[in-house]
């Protein structure tokens, strides 16, 4: 069974890895739909960390990671022009962090671990920062007042529930970052050894054709719609609860009104003023970048159908009973096929 056309492997490995990174940034919704794995931000950050580490592994020249990062940002904008501007900034920060961490190639494993942990923690703190900017510090105070009023029957002292919520949230990302860091190191070791590739290619030859396309972006859009509805519903419930008699004394109605009004104003300003300006600046930069790097851009975009085929077949080869094992096998097989299969 032929995996893809031969032209795919005529390009160098770095460009193929860059195309994999760009593909994951542009079409992660489809990948997650096929694997039925939640937490898109975590998976996206992890895949980017693996790709950056592989680029560092295959290049001794400085600046190669930043070059790949700018390529990914340009391709991401071309394929998904309506992506929020913060997503492009996240890619740039992750690429810059990778460039700094991999200055010393002899410390590849520690750098890979730190990069993965940093990428996932950045995702966590970005969400918390956005939440605080939109609702202000009063949001966390309101949560404390609200939960303390509910638990006052059992606990007499005031508890900073918001702090525990934030610590638990960040703790989950730290655990995921540590697990991802070790997995990244394991994948790099597997790539260096390359001893699994022959067995993988043998399995690939016996792989039946898959008619179902796992790369559907509708799920991603639906999940965003569901998230918006759920978040809006929670805010509405919070507003309703603030007017209940037994919560009225400790949970000020004006505070809720202030939070909601602040959020509405900031979201409107961000959506209709700041985002269009940022998107316009990104568009201008991409236009200039395309003029200077049209050949590299065309090569990466031309590689995307081949990347899709590799990922599709790698997903078929990675069937495991548990989702975590499925994900590990999927990433490992995808990287091995793209790097080693000639």
Sequence spans of domains, the chain: 11-126+158-213+275-340
In the predicted model, what is the mean pLDDT of residues 185-195?
83
Q: What is the pLDDT of residue 220?
A: 47
- Residue 123 contacts residue 45 (beta carbons within 8 Å): yes
This prediction has a pTM of: 0.79
C-alpha–C-alpha distance, residues 281 and 28, integer Å: 25
Q: Which of 325, 57, 311, 316 is nearest to 191 (CA)?
A: 57
Q: Which of 113, 4, 137, 130 is nearest to 50 (CA)?
A: 113
H helix runs in 194-252, sequence order: 197-205, 218-241, 245-248
The pLDDT confidence band at residue 1, using thresholds 50, 70 and 90, is: very low
The pLDDT confidence band at residue 225, using thresholds 50, 70 and 90, is: low
- Token duo for residue 276: 């269009």
Q: Which of 177, 187, 80, 203 is nearest to 125 (CA)?
A: 177
Q: What is the pLDDT of residue 3?
A: 47
Supply the DSSP symbol for 272.
I
C-alpha–C-alpha distance, residues 7 and 174, integer Å: 41
In the predicted model, what is the mean pLDDT of residues 85-102?
92
């Amino acid at each position: 069974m032929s995996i893809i056309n031969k032209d795919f492997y005529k390009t160098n490995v770095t460009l193929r890895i860059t195309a994999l990174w760009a593909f994951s940034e542009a079409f992660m919704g489809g990948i997650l739909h096929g694997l039925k794995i939640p937490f898109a931000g975590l998976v996206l950050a992890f895949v980017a960390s693996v790709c950056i580490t592989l680029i560092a592994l295959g290049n001794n020249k400085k600046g190669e990671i930043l070059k790949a990062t700018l390529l990914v940002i340009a391709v991401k904008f071309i394929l998904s022009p309506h992506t929020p501007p913060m997503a492009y900034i996240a890619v740039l920060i992750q690429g810059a962090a990778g460039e700094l961490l991999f200055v010393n190639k002899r410390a590849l494993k520690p750098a890979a671990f730190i990069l993965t942990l940093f990428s996932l923690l950045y995702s966590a703190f970005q969400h918390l920062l956005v939440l605080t900017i939109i609702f202000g510090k009063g949001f966390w105070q309101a949560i404390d007042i609200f939960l303390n009023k509910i638990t006052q029957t059992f606990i007499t002292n005031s508890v900073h529930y918001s702090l525990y919520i934030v610590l638990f949230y960040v703790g989950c990302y730290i655990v995921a970052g540590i697990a991802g860091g070790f997995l990244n190191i394991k994948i790099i070791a597997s790539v260096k050894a390359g001893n699994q590739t022959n067995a993988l290619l043998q399995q690939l030859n016996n792989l039946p054709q898959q008619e179902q396309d796992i790369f559907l972006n509708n799920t991603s859009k639906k999940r965003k719609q569901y998230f918006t509805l759920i978040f809006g519903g929670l805010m509405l419930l919070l507003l309703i609860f603030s007017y209940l008699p037994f919560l009225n004394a400790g949970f000020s109605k004006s505070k809720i009104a202030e939070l909601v009004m602040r959020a509405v104003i900031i979201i409107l300003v961000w959506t209709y003023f700041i985002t269009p300006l940022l998107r316009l600046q990104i568009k201008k930069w991409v236009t200039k970048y395309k003029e200077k790097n049209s050949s590299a851009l065309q090569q990466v975009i031309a590689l995307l159908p081949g990347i899709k085929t590799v990922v599709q077949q790698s997903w078929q080869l990675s069937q495991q009973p548990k989702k975590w094992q499925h994900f590990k096998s999927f990433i490992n097989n995808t990287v091995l096929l793209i790097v080693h299969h000639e």
